[in-house]
C-alpha cells in the first residue's frame, strides 16, 4: 500500500507519459489513478483504455482524461471486510482508498494483499520445543525452516496478505535469536521474563480499542486457514471469542450401545465420532483483555472463565491444511507437504 504513489498520474498528462508509467509498473498492478489539479481522484487508466482510445481516433499527445474510466470503484477509509471481499470477487486488482474529498489515502493491491482485517496479531514463540530436540537445542522452533522458509515467517506473510500490520511476537526461549531475526522489520518482539502461558503474555500489551479484536496464535503452525473467513465468522456471530478448530475423528472398533437406565435404546456397529479439536488460533475481543492479570494463564482456563461470565464463544472449522509442528515426525510431514508445492493462501 505504501507504493501507491507510483500509480498516480495527472489527468492532464499526455497518453505517452501514461504509457511509460504503466510500463514501469511491470510486476505490479498496471493501473493508473488519475487526479485533478487539486489532487482529487477522477478516474483510472490501463493500457487497454489507452489502446481503445487510440483506436477511436485519439492521439498520443492527448490528455489522460480523454481515455480514463470515470466509473471507477473505490473504498472509503472505514471500509468493511465484506465490502473489500465483494469488490475482490468482481475481479478488481487495484482498489484506491479515498476520503470524502476524493483524495487518495492509499491503494489496495489485491494481487499481493487481498483484504484489510481490523485486527492486531500476537504470535506465541516462547516455548522450548522439547519434543523437537535436538533440532531445537540451538534454534527456536519458530525459526526452523519448512520449504526454505522459517515456520513463523509463513504465518506472518499470511497475516500481511490480510492487511494485518500490527504484529507482535512473544519470546522467551532463545529470545535473542528471534529478536535478531525480526530486527529492522515492523514486527515487534515482547519477551516474557517468566512463562505466562497461552494468554498471560497478552497482559504485557496495551489492551487496545475495546471494540476491536486481537488474533492470537501459536507461531509453529503450518496452516492454510482463511483469517478473513475466521474474522467474518467472529464478527457475524457477535462473538467475544472465536476458536479455530480442526476435525478429529475417533473410530470405535466395537458395536456401541445407547442405554436409558437398564434399557438398551439402540446399537451402532463400529461408529466413528468426529470432535472439534482446538487449533491454537483465537480471535478475542479486546474488551476481555482489559483487566487481564499478569500471571500464567492458558487458553482453556481463560475461555472457561469468560463463558462463566457470559461471554459468547464460537468456533471456526479450518477447511484446509493444519499441522501443529510439535514432533520430528510432524516436522518431516510439514517439509514433505511443502516439497509437493502445496499452496497456503489466505
Residue 65 has pLDDT above 50, yes or no: yes
Encode pLDDT of 71-98 as tens digits: 999 989 888 899 899 888 888 888 999 9
DSSP E strands in the chain: the ranges are 8-10, 31-35, 41-46, 94-98, 104-109, 119-125, 145-146, 149-150, 167-171, 188-191, 213-218, 221-223, 241-251, 255-260, 263-269, 272-285, 313-317, 322-324
pLDDT band per the 50, 70, 90 thresholds, residue 202: confident
> Which of the four pLDDT bands, split at 50, 70 and 90, describes residue 193?
confident
Q: Mean pLDDT, to the nearest integer, of 91-109? A: 90
| pTM > 0.85 | no
Instruction: Give the model confidence (pLDDT) of 25-40 as tens digits.
Output: 887 889 999 999 999 9
Domains of the chain with CATH codes: 4-109 (3.10.580.10), 119-242+284-339 (3.90.550.10)
Assess whether pLDDT exceeds 70 at residue 342: no
Q: How confident is the model at residue 343 (pLDDT cuts 50, 70, 90)?
A: low
pLDDT for residue 32: 95
C-alpha–C-alpha distance, residues 230 and 244, integer Å: 8
Amino acid at each position: 500500500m505504501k507504493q501507491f504513489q507510483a500509480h498516480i498520474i495527472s489527468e492532464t498528462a499526455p497518453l505517452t507519459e501514461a504509457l511509460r508509467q504503466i510500463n514501469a509498473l511491470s510486476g505490479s498492478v498496471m493501473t493508473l489513478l488519475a487526479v485533478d489539479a487539486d489532487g482529487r481522484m477522477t478516474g483510472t487508466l490501463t493500457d487497454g483504455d489507452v489502446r481503445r482510445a487510440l483506436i477511436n481516433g485519439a492521439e498520443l499527445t492527448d490528455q489522460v482524461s480523454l481515455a480514463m474510466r470515470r466509473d471507477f470503484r473505490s473504498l472509503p477509509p472505514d471500509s468493511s471486510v465484506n465490502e473489500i471481499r465483494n469488490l475482490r470477487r468482481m475481479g478488481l486488482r487495484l482498489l484506491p482508498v479515498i476520503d470524502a474529498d476524493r483524495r487518495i489515502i492509499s491503494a489496495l493491491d489485491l494481487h499481493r494483499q487481498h483484504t484489510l482485517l481490523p485486527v492486531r496479531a500476537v504470535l506465541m514463540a516462547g516455548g522450548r520445543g522439547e519434543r523437537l530436540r535436538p533440532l531445537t537445542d540451538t534454534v527456536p522452533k519458530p525459526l526452523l525452516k519448512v520449504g526454505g522458509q522459517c515456520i513463523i515467517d509463513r504465518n506472518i506473510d499470511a497475516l500481511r496478505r490480510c492487511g494485518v500490520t500490527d504484529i507482535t511476537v512473544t519470546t522467551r526461549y532463545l529470545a535473542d535469536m528471534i529478536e535478531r531475526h525480526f530486527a529492522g522489520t515492523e514486527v515487534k518482539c515482547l519477551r516474557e521474563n517468566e512463562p505466562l502461558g497461552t494468554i498471560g503474555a497478552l497482559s504485557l500489551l496495551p489492551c487496545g480499542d475495546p471494540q476491536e479484536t486481537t488474533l492470537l496464535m501459536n507461531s509453529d503452525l503450518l496452516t492454510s486457514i482463511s483469517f478473513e473467513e475466521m474474522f467474518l465468522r467472529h464478527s457475524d456471530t457477535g462473538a467475544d471469542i472465536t476458536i479455530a478448530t480442526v476435525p478429529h475423528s475417533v473410530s470405535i472398533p466395537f458395536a456401541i450401545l445407547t442405554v436409558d437406565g437398564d434399557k438398551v435404546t439402540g446399537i451402532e456397529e463400529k461408529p466413528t465420532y468426529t470432535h472439534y479439536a482446538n487449533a491454537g488460533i483465537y480471535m478475542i475481543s479486546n474488551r476481555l483483555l482489559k483487566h487481564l492479570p499478569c500471571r500464567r494463564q492458558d487458553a482453556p482456563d481463560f475461555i472457561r472463565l469468560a463463558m462463566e461470565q457470559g461471554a459468547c464463544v464460537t468456533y471456526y472449522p479450518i477447511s484446509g491444511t493444519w499441522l501443529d509442528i510439535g514432533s520430528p515426525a510432524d516436522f518431516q510431514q510439514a517439509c514433505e507437504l511443502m516439497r509437493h508445492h502445496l499452496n497456503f493462501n489466505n
